[in-house]
Amino acid sequence: MKINKLLYLLFCTFACALLLGGCATQNDKSLGSAAISIQSYAIKAPSAGKIIGLISEKGERISKGQPLFAIENTKLDKQVKDLKLQIAKAEADLKRMQQGTPTAVPAGNLALAQANVTAAQQKAAKMNDLLAQGAVSRNQAQAAQNELNQALAQLQAATSVSVSFHPATPAQIEAQQKLIEQLKKQQAALLIQQQKNEAPSPCTGIITDLLLANNAAAAQDQVVLQIKAVDTCTLTLKLSEAQAKALQKGMAVQLKATDIPAPFAGSITAIDGTKVTITSEKKPEDLKDGSKVEVSLAN
């Protein structure tokens, strides 16, 4: 009996250890809690110049990556437009070169054919008059009419144009293709410059303030409008050295607000000693600035 009791006690001790170990594992995933901070962004003019395309209003919702405005650069914009037309023309020329260039070739001597028709008309008219007077036979009049029909057919052939197609040589086609490639490279470089004058939204959010209006002059880096994110938030945890060392930038975490049942995802974006910054782009929109959330490592 004593041996059985001893075995029973050992079994209970082992089971408790397993249970406590499981709890410890679960607890190890918890990193603590902190209040979230909803990010605001000051959207600045990328260069000096006139603001164009600013059609947003205060309180308007915008999407991440949505163009907010641009700074006008008339010289650059004209270069982009002109280059687009050059490429279109060069591609059309290449197509014609590959298909062949039409060349008009006269089918006969037009002046001579017109003279023959005039003479045949006069002869036919005269023979018809003589036929009416009984001076010639019907066969003679018909022969004159046949000559007129033949002269008219020759005139029609002389006025028609035959077209022959002469494709460009392989060397000419290759040179045209290289020209198009060069123009497109220039276009790509200009478009990159043009995009630098545009201001896209860094987040999905709400415009909270408009500091400049459309067509207003802006200095480089001057704030044009402000946006508050609706789905992005950050928070900072103060951990022990051991906890912080066990973490890595980019690790996935799960956040759970006390007043919202569904958890949402985030990730560790910075570790500075024992200070760990977490960012989420999945924040529920109705979760307010300063709300407290529990943070744990994702499974």
Task: Kindly tell me the burial class for residue 171, based on how many C-beta atoms sit within 10 Å of its own C-beta (0-12, 13-18, 19 or more).
Answer: exposed
3-state DSSP assignment of residue 54: coil
pLDDT at position 178 is 94
Residue 77, token pair as written in the block: 């914009």
State whether residue 111 is helix, strand or coil: helix
More confident residue, 105 or 120: 120
Length of the chain: 299
**pLDDT score at 23:** 41
Average pLDDT on 269-293 reads 92
The pLDDT tens digits of the residues spanning 133-173 come to: 777 777 887 888 888 888 888 877 777 665 556 788 899 99
**Phi, psi torsion values for 239, nearest 5 degrees:** -115, 170
Predicted confidence at residue 141, as pLDDT, reads 77
DSSP E strands in 161-222: the ranges are 161-166, 198-200, 205-210, 217-218
| pLDDT at residue 13 tops 60 | no
Which pLDDT value is given to residue 34? Answer: 94
Q: What is the mean pLDDT of residues 165-187?
A: 90
pLDDT band at 96 (very low <50, low <70, confident <90, very high): confident
Among 239, 206, 202, 105, smallest CA distance to 163 is for 105
| Annotated domain spans of the chain | 106-166
CA 124 to CA 10: how far, in whole Å? 136
Tens-place pLDDT, residues 23-67: 434 446 889 999 999 999 999 999 999 999 997 789 999 999 999
User: If pLDDT is split at 50, 70 and 90, which confidence band does 297 have?
Assistant: very high
Give the pLDDT of residue 258. Answer: 83
- Residue 275 clears pLDDT 80, i.e. is over it: yes
Contact 226, 42 (CB under 8 A): yes
Q: Confidence band (pLDDT; 50, 70, 90) for 101?
A: low
User: Looking at per-residue confidence, does 127 or 251 come out higher?
Assistant: 251
Report whether pLDDT(276) > 60: yes
Longest dimension (CA), the chain: 159
Give every CB contact of residue 49 below 8 A, 6+ residues apart in sequence: 71, 72, 73, 197, 217, 218
Does the predicted model carry a pTM greater than 0.75?
Answer: no
- What's the confidence (pLDDT) of residue 160? 66
116-130, 213-227, 251-265 — which one is most confidently predicted on average? 213-227
The pLDDT score that the predictor gives to residue 107 is 57
Structure tokens, 272: 């500075």
